[in-house]
Amino acid sequence: MTTLTLISKPDCHLCDVAREIVDNVVAELPDGAVEVEEFSIASDPALYEQWWEKIPVVLIDDRLHAHWRLSADRLRAALTDTRTEENA
């Protein structure tokens, strides 16, 4: 299973857009293919220190996929590639 992590903060327009893209792309994939978790830099000092100037941040299996702006097409391709690798 692939893990997608969204690092965001409250009242962040770009974070809201990224969350919507994540939800839409993951909904296109088979159930259980991607586990989505979200963390806020507002409640985690370590995340704040690491990511405050780049949110929203999307990690796929703990690797940086995107920050600031998220492309649905690029995310879809990355998640499809990850699933293909897992099934190989």
Going along the chain from its start, the domains and CATH numbers come out as: 2-87 (3.40.30.10)
Q: What region, left, alpha or beta, does residue 57 occupy, with left being phi > 0 and alpha being psi -120 to 50 degrees?
A: beta
User: pLDDT by residue (tens digit) across 9-33?
Assistant: 999 999 999 999 999 999 999 999 9
Cβ neighbours of residue 81 under 8 Å, at least 6 residues apart?
none
Give this prediction's pTM. Answer: 0.90
Q: What is the pLDDT of residue 83?
A: 60
Distances (CA, A) of 31 to 2, 9, 27, 28, 82: 12, 27, 8, 9, 15
Q: How many CB atoms lie within 10 A of CB 5?
A: 19
By the 10 Å C-beta count (0-12 exposed, 13-18 middle, 19+ buried), 1 is classed as exposed
